[in-house]
A and B are shown apart, each in its own frame.
Chain A
Amino acid sequence: MLDSRIPDGPLEDKWQKYKAHAQLINPANRRNYKIIVVGTGLAGASSAASLAELGFQVEVFTFHDSARRAHSVAAQGGVNAAKDYKNDGDSVWRMFYDTLKGGDFRAREANVYRLAECSMALIDQAVAQGVPFAREYSGYLSNRSFGGVQVSRTFYARGQTGQQLLLGAYQALMRQNAGSNLTLHTRHEMLDVITLNGEAKGVTIRNLDTGELTSHHCDALLLATGGYGKIYYLSTLAMNCNATAIWRAHRKGAFMAAPSWTQFHPTSLPQLGDYQSKLTLMSESLRNDGRIWVPKLVNEKRAPKDIPEAERDYYLERRYPSFGNLAPRDISSRAAKERIDAGHGVGPMKNAVYLDFKDALNRDGQPAIAQRYGNLFDMYQKITGMNAYKEPMMIAPAAHFSMGGLWVDYRLMSNLPGLFVLGEANFSDHGANRLGANSLLQSCVDGYFIAPSTVMDYLAEVGSAKSKKDATWEAAAALSKAEVSKRLEHLLKIKGNTTAEEFHKELGQILYVKCGLSRNQTDMEAAREALLALQKRFQKELLIPGNASEINFELEKAVRVEDYLEMAILIVEDALQRKESCGAHFRQEYQTEDGEALRNDEDFKYVSAWEYKGDNQYALHKEHLNFEFVELKSRSYK
């Protein structure tokens, strides 16, 4: 049933072969096809601009007030590419292998290889757009190293690489918006997919300034709406990041793949109090020069500078001598949690570990460190009031990236024909754990290079005859609009005594404790009961002020939290069925004697893809992963 449509042939020829055989549409006919893109982050803006450049009619929707605000903007550290500018043994194959291994062999070989293969062109494209990547004094591009690899393949623009790449894509989008092929609608949120005979044929959109609902017809729909890590409430994501677009598509038949695979980033700032709304990320690049440690003594009271070397536990260097402080994210986060749970945590809530630059400062001097990480040290000081040149930073793991998302085939099309899913919103390339600096890459590669080819192939395949905006479509659109309207009215009418945000915090707490960095069956079964009860309370006790025909941020939040509540139950379901540990999914029942993840390739070498059945019921489909080109190995960074 799930056909991943991977082209035959040698790994290194698959994408070239696909492109060579993909069907084309005559340039003059492209304007007859209408494509809707939802989301203006890296994947959304880059795909929309690229498709408009080809001559398609593109309509773009974002809930932000400007396309430049999407959360891609906040990615700090960098973007990977197998350029091998360092002559340190990098290659497309090595990048493919690092990524596949980093994802604990739970991704498709063909997709991962394509990601590595297209990485070089992305750097070329970004440089041409004016992205000011770091340069050597000679004028050549500079690279640094990131977690989970032993080469330097990360390109960066100080600590603001995501911002600079996003501005490049945003500017390309605005350039098209000035032309006749593309129209951008800001402050418009997608609340439903319009389907016709099981195909995606449009969207129902709410104007967030006026509340007006409108129906929009399309021949292909691209969702590039980002990840759902914010479901944990405290996360590194922006306040408005949500799963509503992909969840609504899921309810219309699109399968949700591996929703329980959420990465916890090891270098976030720790929670300081109950009022807190987000956890700020400090770039993983800091681990190039910072050493992570906790006091050996439980309940240590001394200031870090007063703790002698012999009484410090550099636990990553101790447990993973060959990768040390650059061990992959899932492993670093779990190792931190293990030390914190064992009573070695530092800071006022004993929920953090030290990231210490003392040795690097002594070795390279403050000016060199300031040039590499100056803005990160400034940001740390702004948030915490502490000076990291003088004392170690305090960091902790935080919910960060969704490896899971809507299921897509090699063409990035979901099981609903016509519905493409790009960037973090899909599940595809990262397996059960994403390597640092691969998310900017995947969003860009999906948007600039893959979707333009595969969407055109799909449109040529169906032809323009199938895309009529006829009476049947109008009826489907009217039904969708009526459903959305009814849903909003219903939420407004509950008039209980609890805000959407309060529900979100409760949801996040349940999920973090019982289905977070590590999971077990007993806790998750308790989580399921607690979530079902919370969902019932939400429907009785939600309180939204105001009405649906004005700017109403509380209504926007409530819609997203309602979807998060439903999704959380599926997340627990997904984590329960996977009786193995892999990547970010660590089941306490399945670990080795020294506490490492124990994968079970015999029974779980598949990606789960869930079909929505209504009333918190789901059917599990499995996409079995075939490894033809690499040998499955137990993942070791020791």
Chain B
Amino acid sequence: MKLELHIWRQAGPNIKGYFEGHTLDDLDEHMSVPEMLDHLNTKIIKSGGNPVAFESDCREGICGQCGFVINGDVHSPNKGTTTCQTHLRSFQDGQTLYLEPFRAGAFPIKKDLVIDRSAFDRIIQAGGYIGVNTGQAAEANTLLINHELAEKAFDAAACIGCGACVATCKNASAMLFTSAKVNHLSMLPQGKPEASNRVKNMVAQMDMEGFGSCSATGACEVVCPQGITMTNIAEMNSRWLWQNLK
């Protein structure tokens, strides 16, 4: 299988980037996109060049480390799929692919396809937890949580922190990421005592990091590898509003 690649190269955060062309004609359709880059990098290194910097760790779609934009599609041309789970059989033989990093002001580019998503960690740090110390917990079955609620909490908790929602949003908004964590914790009885500070502090941190506003286009939920839905955003808005009305 043959692909013509144009890959974003950028030596450092404040250095001008450009697309670099490579043609690969010995590819296998069952290779994943990172495996294609491994293959390319081996060729580049052996010919004395500078390999493409990219990140990918678990390669099974759960660690959230990978993710590029491929021909304008965040992560993948396949809906709800991470880059590492995208195989070359998703493309046509002979196709041209443009590979770029996720782009957002709050995710500075570090090198080539590697970006800095530490803003997400700081949003979690602002309140994305339940404040229970080790040892304080009560017997697990003393707290009953009905099946539907547990499933709904899981749906929100499944976020892998990849940043695709931000990268695809025209405003580079982190509302889907933030709301998923706010709702996961605040809908559960364990998370209720801190619910009002949680939403206030996490939203404030999100704004401080420079993420944009949500204009409800719904682009985020289309690319989310875990299928986290936009209803989370509405739910968080309501939590935030009530908190401010108090």
Q: Which residues of A are in contact with B by a Cβ distance under 8 Å?
A: 46, 49-50, 53, 64-69, 71, 73-74, 83, 85, 121, 123-130, 132-141, 157-158, 160, 163-164, 167, 170-172, 174-175, 177-178, 186, 209, 238-240, 272-273, 275-278, 280-281, 379, 382-383, 385, 448-449, 452, 497, 499, 501-502, 543, 545-546, 550-551, 553-554
Contacts and interface: CB of A to CB of B under 8 A. Distances in A.
29 contacts: A65-B117, A68-B121, A69-B58, A69-B161, A73-B62, A73-B63, A74-B63, A123-B140, A124-B139, A125-B135, A129-B130, A132-B151, A135-B145, A135-B150, A136-B147, A163-B62, A163-B160, A164-B154, A171-B129, A174-B124, A175-B125, A278-B59, A280-B59, A383-B60, A385-B89, A499-B45, A501-B42, A502-B42, A553-B51
B110 interface: yes
B157 interface: yes
A157 B184 CA distance: 13
Given A130-B190, A163-B62, A551 B110 contact: yes
Contact of B146 (A67, A71, A130, A137): A137
A69 B185 contact: no
Contacts of B38: 275, 277, 501
B101 interface: no
Given A53-B134, A71-B58, A127 B143 contact: yes
B93 interface: no
Contacts of A126: 140
A69 B137 contact: no
Interface stretch (B29-37, B166-174, B213-221, B237-245): B29-37
Contacts of B135: 125
Contacts of B46: 497, 499, 543
A64 B48 CA distance: 28
B25 interface: no
Interface in B100-141: 110-111, 114, 116-118, 120-121, 124-126, 128-141
A178 B125 CA distance: 6
Contacts of B184: 130, 132
Contacts of A140: 141, 144
B53 interface: yes
A559 B10 CA distance: 25
Contact of B190 (A68, A69, A127, A160): A127
A66 B59 CA distance: 16
Dominant SS among interface residues on chain B: loop
A332 B142 CA distance: 38
Interface of B: 28, 30-32, 34-35, 38-39, 41-42, 44-46, 48-51, 53, 55-65, 78, 81, 85, 87, 89, 110-111, 114, 116-118, 120-121, 124-126, 128-141, 143-147, 149-151, 153-154, 157-158, 160-161, 184-185, 188, 190-191
Contacts of A158: 154
B182 to A, nearest CB: 12
B139 A545 contact: no
A280 B49 contact: no
Contacts of B111: 550-551
Nearest to B153: A132
B161 A545 contact: no
A130 B145 CA distance: 11
Nearest to A67: B121
